[in-house]
Amino acid sequence: MLIYQALAGEPLYCCMTKRQVLLETISALLIMLFLYASISKFLSFRVFILEMNNQPMPNSLTPFLVWTIPSLEIAIATALIFERTRQAGFYASFALMTLFTIYTVVILLHFFRYIPCSCGGVIRKLTWRQHLVFNLFFVTISVLGILLKRGNFLNTITSTKNKNSFV
Amino acid sequence: MKKMKVTIMALAILLSIGGAFATKLRSDDACLTATQYHKVGTAYVPCGLYGTNFDCSVSSNTCTYWMNPATNQYEQCHIGTWAFLQ
Protein backbone atom coordinates (compact mmCIF):
# COMPACT_ATOMS: atom_id res chain seq x y z
CA MET A 1 0.00 0.00 0.00
CA LEU A 2 2.80 2.36 0.95
CA ILE A 3 4.58 1.54 -2.29
CA TYR A 4 1.33 2.08 -4.24
CA GLN A 5 0.80 5.46 -2.56
CA ALA A 6 4.44 6.31 -3.08
CA LEU A 7 4.31 5.46 -6.76
CA ALA A 8 1.18 7.57 -7.11
CA GLY A 9 3.03 10.50 -5.55
CA GLU A 10 0.59 11.12 -2.71
CA PRO A 11 1.78 13.87 -0.33
CA LEU A 12 3.26 12.72 2.99
CA TYR A 13 4.31 15.81 4.93
CA CYS A 14 4.36 19.47 4.11
CA CYS A 15 7.16 19.19 1.63
CA MET A 16 7.83 15.61 0.49
CA THR A 17 5.54 13.08 -1.16
CA LYS A 18 5.66 9.44 -0.11
CA ARG A 19 7.25 8.75 -3.48
CA GLN A 20 10.04 11.20 -2.74
CA VAL A 21 10.57 9.81 0.77
CA LEU A 22 10.77 6.28 -0.62
CA LEU A 23 13.15 7.42 -3.37
CA GLU A 24 15.44 9.09 -0.85
CA THR A 25 15.32 6.04 1.44
CA ILE A 26 16.17 3.64 -1.40
CA SER A 27 19.01 5.90 -2.56
CA ALA A 28 20.34 6.16 0.99
CA LEU A 29 20.25 2.37 1.47
CA LEU A 30 22.09 1.76 -1.80
CA ILE A 31 24.63 4.50 -1.04
CA MET A 32 25.29 2.92 2.37
CA LEU A 33 25.74 -0.51 0.80
CA PHE A 34 28.13 0.58 -1.94
CA LEU A 35 30.12 3.07 0.13
CA TYR A 36 30.45 0.66 3.05
CA ALA A 37 31.48 -2.24 0.79
CA SER A 38 34.04 -0.20 -1.17
CA ILE A 39 35.61 1.53 1.84
CA SER A 40 35.83 -1.80 3.70
CA LYS A 41 37.66 -3.29 0.72
CA PHE A 42 40.13 -0.41 0.53
CA LEU A 43 40.69 -0.46 4.31
CA SER A 44 41.61 -4.16 4.22
CA PHE A 45 43.03 -4.12 0.72
CA ARG A 46 45.62 -6.87 1.22
CA VAL A 47 42.97 -9.17 2.67
CA PHE A 48 40.64 -8.28 -0.19
CA ILE A 49 43.33 -9.33 -2.71
CA LEU A 50 43.70 -12.67 -0.92
CA GLU A 51 39.93 -13.16 -0.87
CA MET A 52 39.70 -12.38 -4.58
CA ASN A 53 42.43 -14.93 -5.25
CA ASN A 54 40.34 -17.47 -3.35
CA GLN A 55 37.36 -16.92 -5.67
CA PRO A 56 36.99 -19.63 -8.32
CA MET A 57 38.14 -17.48 -11.22
CA PRO A 58 41.59 -17.05 -12.77
CA ASN A 59 43.98 -15.22 -10.43
CA SER A 60 45.16 -13.21 -13.45
CA LEU A 61 41.88 -11.28 -13.15
CA THR A 62 42.58 -10.27 -9.54
CA PRO A 63 44.67 -7.09 -10.25
CA PHE A 64 41.87 -5.87 -12.51
CA LEU A 65 38.97 -6.83 -10.22
CA VAL A 66 40.42 -5.52 -6.94
CA TRP A 67 40.48 -2.01 -8.40
CA THR A 68 37.43 -2.17 -10.65
CA ILE A 69 34.86 -3.48 -8.14
CA PRO A 70 35.40 -0.93 -5.31
CA SER A 71 35.86 1.92 -7.82
CA LEU A 72 32.62 0.98 -9.52
CA GLU A 73 30.87 0.84 -6.15
CA ILE A 74 32.10 4.35 -5.27
CA ALA A 75 31.03 5.63 -8.70
CA ILE A 76 27.52 4.18 -8.25
CA ALA A 77 27.22 5.63 -4.72
CA THR A 78 28.29 9.05 -6.07
CA ALA A 79 25.78 8.83 -8.94
CA LEU A 80 23.01 8.04 -6.45
CA ILE A 81 23.77 11.13 -4.36
CA PHE A 82 23.02 13.64 -7.11
CA GLU A 83 19.53 14.08 -8.55
CA ARG A 84 20.75 14.39 -12.15
CA THR A 85 22.68 11.13 -12.13
CA ARG A 86 20.42 9.14 -9.82
CA GLN A 87 18.54 7.30 -12.57
CA ALA A 88 21.85 6.13 -14.07
CA GLY A 89 22.92 5.15 -10.54
CA PHE A 90 19.82 2.99 -10.10
CA TYR A 91 20.45 1.24 -13.42
CA ALA A 92 24.12 0.67 -12.57
CA SER A 93 23.19 -0.56 -9.09
CA PHE A 94 20.65 -2.96 -10.61
CA ALA A 95 23.24 -4.25 -13.10
CA LEU A 96 25.99 -4.76 -10.50
CA MET A 97 23.70 -6.35 -7.91
CA THR A 98 22.22 -8.65 -10.58
CA LEU A 99 25.77 -9.74 -11.51
CA PHE A 100 26.59 -10.42 -7.84
CA THR A 101 23.31 -12.34 -7.49
CA ILE A 102 24.03 -14.50 -10.56
CA TYR A 103 27.51 -15.21 -9.15
CA THR A 104 25.96 -16.20 -5.80
CA VAL A 105 23.44 -18.51 -7.51
CA VAL A 106 26.22 -20.11 -9.58
CA ILE A 107 28.22 -20.75 -6.39
CA LEU A 108 25.20 -22.16 -4.55
CA LEU A 109 24.50 -24.50 -7.48
CA HIS A 110 28.02 -25.94 -7.00
CA PHE A 111 29.02 -24.88 -10.46
CA PHE A 112 32.60 -24.46 -9.24
CA ARG A 113 34.67 -27.24 -7.70
CA TYR A 114 34.54 -25.60 -4.27
CA ILE A 115 32.53 -22.95 -2.44
CA PRO A 116 34.80 -20.00 -1.64
CA CYS A 117 34.49 -17.74 1.38
CA SER A 118 32.78 -14.41 0.78
CA CYS A 119 34.29 -10.95 1.30
CA GLY A 120 33.61 -7.27 2.09
CA GLY A 121 33.66 -6.01 5.69
CA VAL A 122 30.93 -7.39 7.93
CA ILE A 123 29.26 -8.85 4.81
CA ARG A 124 31.96 -11.57 4.85
CA LYS A 125 30.19 -13.07 7.88
CA LEU A 126 27.14 -13.93 5.77
CA THR A 127 26.70 -17.42 4.35
CA TRP A 128 26.14 -17.67 0.61
CA ARG A 129 22.41 -18.31 1.15
CA GLN A 130 22.16 -15.16 3.31
CA HIS A 131 24.17 -13.40 0.60
CA LEU A 132 21.57 -14.41 -1.95
CA VAL A 133 18.69 -12.98 0.10
CA PHE A 134 20.75 -9.85 0.82
CA ASN A 135 21.53 -9.35 -2.90
CA LEU A 136 17.94 -10.02 -3.97
CA PHE A 137 16.74 -7.34 -1.55
CA PHE A 138 19.08 -4.78 -3.11
CA VAL A 139 18.18 -5.88 -6.66
CA THR A 140 14.51 -5.37 -5.74
CA ILE A 141 15.00 -1.90 -4.28
CA SER A 142 17.12 -0.92 -7.30
CA VAL A 143 14.21 -1.89 -9.58
CA LEU A 144 11.82 0.02 -7.31
CA GLY A 145 14.15 3.02 -7.53
CA ILE A 146 14.15 2.87 -11.34
CA LEU A 147 10.35 2.68 -11.41
CA LEU A 148 9.91 5.49 -8.89
CA LYS A 149 12.38 7.69 -10.72
CA ARG A 150 10.60 7.11 -13.99
CA GLY A 151 7.49 8.33 -12.20
CA ASN A 152 5.07 7.38 -14.93
CA PHE A 153 4.99 3.72 -13.87
CA LEU A 154 1.77 3.92 -11.88
CA ASN A 155 0.23 6.53 -14.13
CA THR A 156 0.50 4.07 -17.02
CA ILE A 157 -1.21 1.34 -14.97
CA THR A 158 -3.91 3.71 -13.71
CA SER A 159 -4.66 5.08 -17.16
CA THR A 160 -4.91 1.54 -18.59
CA LYS A 161 -7.31 0.61 -15.76
CA ASN A 162 -9.46 3.67 -16.43
CA LYS A 163 -9.57 2.99 -20.15
CA ASN A 164 -10.68 -0.58 -19.50
CA SER A 165 -13.43 0.55 -17.13
CA PHE A 166 -14.99 2.65 -19.88
CA VAL A 167 -15.11 -0.26 -22.35
CA MET B 1 12.59 19.54 1.19
CA LYS B 2 16.14 20.09 0.04
CA LYS B 3 17.27 20.26 3.66
CA MET B 4 15.66 16.88 4.38
CA LYS B 5 17.28 15.33 1.29
CA VAL B 6 20.71 16.67 2.26
CA THR B 7 20.25 15.34 5.81
CA ILE B 8 19.33 11.84 4.58
CA MET B 9 22.28 11.74 2.16
CA ALA B 10 24.75 13.08 4.74
CA LEU B 11 23.54 10.51 7.27
CA ALA B 12 23.91 7.68 4.74
CA ILE B 13 27.45 8.74 3.83
CA LEU B 14 28.54 9.22 7.44
CA LEU B 15 27.04 5.90 8.54
CA SER B 16 28.73 3.96 5.74
CA ILE B 17 32.15 5.55 6.31
CA GLY B 18 31.84 5.18 10.09
CA GLY B 19 30.61 1.60 9.74
CA ALA B 20 33.49 0.67 7.45
CA PHE B 21 36.06 2.01 9.94
CA ALA B 22 34.24 0.49 12.91
CA THR B 23 34.16 -3.00 11.39
CA LYS B 24 37.65 -2.82 9.85
CA LEU B 25 39.52 -6.04 10.40
CA ARG B 26 42.15 -5.52 13.03
CA SER B 27 43.46 -8.76 14.50
CA ASP B 28 42.22 -10.67 11.44
CA ASP B 29 44.31 -8.42 9.22
CA ALA B 30 47.50 -9.57 10.89
CA CYS B 31 46.48 -13.21 10.71
CA LEU B 32 45.32 -13.16 7.09
CA THR B 33 48.49 -11.53 5.78
CA ALA B 34 50.87 -13.65 7.88
CA THR B 35 52.43 -16.97 6.81
CA GLN B 36 49.73 -19.61 6.72
CA TYR B 37 50.24 -23.08 8.18
CA HIS B 38 48.31 -26.27 7.48
CA LYS B 39 48.10 -28.80 10.29
CA VAL B 40 49.32 -32.25 9.27
CA GLY B 41 48.99 -34.59 12.24
CA THR B 42 50.63 -32.60 15.02
CA ALA B 43 52.93 -30.59 12.75
CA TYR B 44 52.24 -27.20 11.24
CA VAL B 45 53.41 -26.98 7.62
CA PRO B 46 53.69 -23.66 5.72
CA CYS B 47 51.16 -23.89 2.92
CA GLY B 48 51.92 -20.88 0.72
CA LEU B 49 49.51 -18.27 -0.61
CA TYR B 50 45.78 -18.29 -0.05
CA GLY B 51 44.01 -18.59 -3.40
CA THR B 52 47.23 -19.51 -5.20
CA ASN B 53 48.66 -22.54 -3.41
CA PHE B 54 45.60 -23.50 -1.35
CA ASP B 55 41.93 -22.68 -0.97
CA CYS B 56 39.48 -22.73 1.90
CA SER B 57 35.97 -23.80 0.96
CA VAL B 58 33.04 -22.95 3.22
CA SER B 59 32.76 -25.08 6.37
CA SER B 60 33.16 -24.57 10.11
CA ASN B 61 36.54 -26.39 10.25
CA THR B 62 39.88 -24.67 10.70
CA CYS B 63 41.47 -24.25 7.30
CA THR B 64 44.81 -22.65 8.24
CA TYR B 65 46.75 -21.52 11.29
CA TRP B 66 49.17 -18.66 11.85
CA MET B 67 51.90 -18.06 14.38
CA ASN B 68 50.66 -15.30 16.66
CA PRO B 69 53.79 -13.37 17.77
CA ALA B 70 51.96 -12.07 20.84
CA THR B 71 51.26 -15.54 22.26
CA ASN B 72 53.97 -17.41 20.32
CA GLN B 73 51.45 -20.10 19.51
CA TYR B 74 49.71 -21.38 16.41
CA GLU B 75 46.19 -20.00 16.24
CA GLN B 76 43.27 -20.48 13.90
CA CYS B 77 43.26 -18.11 10.93
CA HIS B 78 41.14 -19.11 7.91
CA ILE B 79 37.95 -21.04 8.54
CA GLY B 80 36.88 -23.68 6.02
CA THR B 81 38.10 -26.89 4.49
CA TRP B 82 41.68 -26.81 3.25
CA ALA B 83 42.29 -27.75 -0.40
CA PHE B 84 45.68 -27.98 -2.09
CA LEU B 85 45.91 -26.12 -5.41
CA GLN B 86 49.54 -26.24 -6.58
Percent of chain A with pLDDT over 70: 73
Q: Shortest Cα distance from B76 to chain A (angstroms)? A: 16
Does the pLDDT at position A166 exceed 50?
no
Predicted confidence (pLDDT) per residue in A23-68, tens digit: 999 999 999 999 999 998 898 888 888 788 878 788 888 899 999 9
**Whether the predicted pLDDT of A161 surpasses 90:** no
Residue A28 confidence (pLDDT): 96
Q: Is the dihedral of CA A114, A115, A119, A122 positive or negative?
A: negative
What pLDDT score does A153 carry? 55
A13-25 pLDDT, tens digit per residue, is 555 678 888 999 9
- Taking a contact as any Cβ pair under 8 Å apart, which residues of chain A between 52 and 91 contact chain B? 52-55, 59, 62, 77, 81
Q: Given pLDDT bands bounded at 50, 70 and 90, which one contains residue A5?
A: low
Q: Which of A46, A54, A104, A130 is best to mutate for the B interface (most B CBs within 10 A)?
A: A54
The reported pLDDT for the residue numbered A96 is 96
* Cβ-Cβ contacts under 8 Å, A24 against chain B: 4-5, 8-9
pLDDT confidence tier of residue A118, bands split at 50, 70 and 90: low
Q: For position A160, what pLDDT does the model report?
A: 56
Q: Do A15 and B55 touch (CB under 8 A)?
A: no
Nearest CA in chain A to B80: A117
Which residues in chain A touch residue B66, judged by CB atoms under 8 angstroms apart? none
In chain A, which residue's Cα lies nearest the Cα of B5?
A24
- Model pLDDT, residue B59: 76
What totals of helices (H) and strands (E) does chain A contain, helices first? Answer: 7, 0
Mean pLDDT of successive 10-residue stretches along chain B, which has 86 residues: 85 92 70 86 86 78 87 86 79
Burial A134-157 (b: 16+ CB within 10 A, else e): bbeebbebbbbbbebbeeeebeee
Q: What span, in angstroms and rounded, lies between the C-alpha atoms of A35 and B38?
A: 35
Identify the weakest region by mean pLDDT among A120-124, A135-139, B57-61. A120-124
Checking ipTM against 0.90, whether it exceeds it is: no
Selected residue of A38, A50, A123, A131 to mutate for chain B interface (largest B Cβ count, 10 A): A50
Of the candidates B47, B86, B53, B41, which has an alpha carbon nearest to the alpha carbon of residue B67?
A: B47
Mean pLDDT of chain A, nearest integer: 81
Distance spanning both ends of chain A, measured CA to CA: 27
Cα B34-B40-B41 angle, rounded to 5 deg:
135
